[in-house]
């Protein structure tokens, strides 16, 4: 028996609906992009090395990779390296495809390094010596404050070059101290070489003018070591200690 025109229209509409539903089914994920994974791994490795050199505690590293406007061709063996690290919050990474002979693709990696740093807990006028009670610790982005202090003991007793507002991150560039060190004063014990220097908190056990040898106590270990006064509230660990 021939189908009515109504039945034919119904079947055609039903077939169209099924076709649209099948066509709208989401495609399966192709998995992580090897190029982006290589860029992120290179940025993370570079940042971890920088933090180790600075003697920083391990912060939480958050990365956001910004691909170039023109995507590079697919590559089975991508190689990435940081080309410009002058801004820790915004690294530039070059991506090459091994053996392809193609010029590198330029990626940008936005960075956040979240870690505890010293903050000011009250308004402090310029020139005032900082007291321990005026200092606290809060989590901030080290990529934005690369010279932020990690230990309040490294700031107590030093004076500020500028007025500081409550909640402000305390940066090394803001601080100075009187020439030399005084007995009982909190000092920074530095060790290493130019470009690769770490510092820890200590206490001077005797007075000392610049270039003088003094004994200081490492506050974290309690060990007493010999050090040379090299700046305002700063002593350099003597080799062998």
DSSP, res 222: -
- Token representation of residue 128: 């005032």
**Digit-coded pLDDT (tens) for 44-68:** 999 999 988 877 777 999 999 998 9
From 68, 96, 113, the end of a domain falls on 113
From 89, 113, 137, the end of a domain falls on 113
Q: Is residue 162 part of a domain?
A: no
Given a contact cutoff of 8 angstroms between Cβ atoms, the answer to whether 142 and 56 are in contact is yes
Q: Has this prediction a pTM greater than 0.75? A: no
From 62, 86, 113, the end of a domain falls on 113
d(CA 93, CA 47): 12
Q: Is residue 170 part of a domain?
A: no
**Digit-coded pLDDT (tens) for 6-47:** 454 544 455 544 444 444 444 444 556 899 999 999 999 999
Q: Is residue 79 part of a domain?
A: yes
- Token representation of residue 120: 């000011």
Q: Is residue 134 part of a domain?
A: no
Given a contact cutoff of 8 angstroms between Cβ atoms, the answer to whether 67 and 108 are in contact is no
- CATH classification of the domain holding 241: 2.30.30.760
Q: Is residue 168 part of a domain?
A: no
Tell me how many degrees the CA angle 102-106-107 measures, rounded to the nearest 5: 135
Given a contact cutoff of 8 angstroms between Cβ atoms, the answer to whether 74 and 38 are in contact is no
Across the chain, the runs of DSSP E, i.e. the strands, are 60-66, 78-84, 90-97, 105-120, 135-141, 159-160, 175-176, 186-193, 196-204, 213-218, 224-231, 234-237
Q: Structural domain tally of the chain? A: 2
Q: Is residue 161 part of a domain?
A: no
Q: Is residue 48 part of a domain?
A: yes
Q: Is residue 132 part of a domain?
A: no
Among candidates 125, 122, 203, which has minimal Cα distance to 160?
125
d(CA 48, CA 56): 10
**Digit-coded pLDDT (tens) for 96-124:** 998 888 899 999 999 999 999 999 999 99
Q: Which domain holds residue 204?
A: 178-241
């Amino acid at each position: 028996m021939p189908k009515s025109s109504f039945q034919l229209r119904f079947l055609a509409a039903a077939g169209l609906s099924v076709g649209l539903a099948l066509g709208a089914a989401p495609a399966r994920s192709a998995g992580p992009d090897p190029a982006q994974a290589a860029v992120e791994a290179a940025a993370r490795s570079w940042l971890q090395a920088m933090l180790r050199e600075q003697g920083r505690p391990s912060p939480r590293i958050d990365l956001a990779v910004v691909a170039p406007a023109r995507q590079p061709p697919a590559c089975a063996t991508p190689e990435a390296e940081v080309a410009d690290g002058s801004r820790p919050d915004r690294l530039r990474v070059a991506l090459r495809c091994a053996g392809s002979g193609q010029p590198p693709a330029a990626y940008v990696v936005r960075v956040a390094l979240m870690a505890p740093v010293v903050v000011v807990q009250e308004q402090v006028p310029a020139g005032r010596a900082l007291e321990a009670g005026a200092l606290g610790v809060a989590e901030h982005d080290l990529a934005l404050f690369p010279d932020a202090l990690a230990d309040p003991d490294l700031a107590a007793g030093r004076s500020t070059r500028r007025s500081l507002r409550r909640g402000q991150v305390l940066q090394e560039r803001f601080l100075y101290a009187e020439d030399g060190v005084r007995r009982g004063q909190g000092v920074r014990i530095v060790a290493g070489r130019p470009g690769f220097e770490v510092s820890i908190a200590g206490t001077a056990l005797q007075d000392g003018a610049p270039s003088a040898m003094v004994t200081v106590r490492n506050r974290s270990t309690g060990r007493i070591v010999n050090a040379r006064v090299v700046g305002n509230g700063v002593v350099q660990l003597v080799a062998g200690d």
